[in-house]
Amino acid sequence: MDNIAGSKPHLTWAVHISVAVLVALWLFPTVGLFVSSFRTADQISTSGWWKAMFPSEQSLTLRTAAPDTQVQQGDLFVIEGNLFGQAGKAEISVFGISSKDVTAYSIGETAELRNGRKVTVQSSGDYRMTASEPMTGSRGSRVFVTAQTPPEFTTQNYKNVLFDPDNREGMAKAFFNTLTVTIPATIIPILVAAFAAYALAWMDFPGRALLIAAIVALLVVPLQLALIPLLKFHNNIGIGKGYLGVWMAHTGFGLPLAIYLLRNYMVSLPRDIIENARVDGASDFQIFTRIILPLSFPALASFAIFQFLWTWNDLLVALVFLIDATGETTVMTKQIVELLGTRGGNWEILATSAFVSIAVPLAVFFAMQKYLVRGLLAGSVK
């Protein structure tokens, strides 16, 4: 009875659990990156993204107002205000006046500074600093506080990364540079491979079997093996330091898989359709454009997903074929690497830049994923 068609296997639950675990392993870091991209630098540095909806305890270094804001009240000179700029932004539990002991004083206690000033801090951040003589200096006194800050989310990270023309990270320019590389590098190999796949699937000519064998052999050639010879060739013909060179490189590296995938799909199409079209007087070009291409859309979409993801996330080919000291052709992967080296402390910028770099591939994948399995399994069965 266990082998009856339509009966469920005993290990269905194990398959479901395995799928759920794999989805969770992929989903958790993506969600974490998304949440972190909307948090401030202080929030990211003090708590994990899974605590983003809860208050967090932070150790902050704040300053009182400058001495030029002091007022005289009787025999005392007084500076009053809020350390956060406004009440209610956080709740202070303890404070200190030295970095060596940031929890020296409780809320409401009076701390005496070395220059004769005295300061009292309340839980809301309100403070009162007094001195018997006029206070001097260009900046206020430092106060070290431990505070419970409420959850805080902001879109300023995305504004800085994408829409600020003067941003130092240059991610907006890198985003459009990546699109400039990726879109042509996806379309060109699809166009070339579609013609080649049709010829190898439905046209008889000498050496066809050898060409198919050569394409299969090229699938196992490492990318790194061809980089230096190809770069020298590009430099000799004058396309080695620009977009044209990287388009041709991605096209060359992507063609074997594209031709192999599309050819397998086209071979699986019903022969009667092709033969009936030829009997009706259709040329090979008409058969290709009016019959084969529409029927081959799942395979085309399947390869488009792979090629787009590969070129969008590529760093090696961009480093080799987009040699630019001015940064005009820098892509996002290279820009993020530079951020890690030069702005490694700005976690909010890094998180936002990283999520922007994966948002477009995710959108492309989810928009076309229904064709992925159909295209990959094409030609596997008759």
Place 126 in a pLDDT band, splitting at 50, 70 and 90: very high
Does the pLDDT at position 20 exceed 50? Answer: yes
Does the pLDDT at position 1 exceed 70? Answer: no
What does the pLDDT read at residue 194? 92
Q: Which tens digits make up the pLDDT trace of 93-110?
A: 899 988 888 888 999 999
Does the pLDDT at position 169 exceed 50? Answer: yes
Does the pLDDT at position 3 exceed 80? Answer: no
Q: Which tens digits make up the pLDDT trace of 295-304?
A: 888 888 888 8
Does the pLDDT at position 7 exceed 60? Answer: no
C-alpha dihedral sign at 312, 317, 321, 322: positive
Residue spans of the domains in the chain: they are 12-51, 56-149, 160-377
Nearest to 181 by CA among 351, 307, 326: 307
What does the pLDDT read at residue 59? 83
Q: Which tens digits make up the pLDDT trace of 262-284?
A: 888 888 888 888 888 888 888 88
Calculate mean pLDDT across residues 348-361.
Answer: 84
User: Which superfamily does CATH assign the domain made up of 160-377 to?
Assistant: MetI-like (1.10.3720.10)
Specify the length of the chain in residues: 382
Residue reference for tokens 């400039």: 180
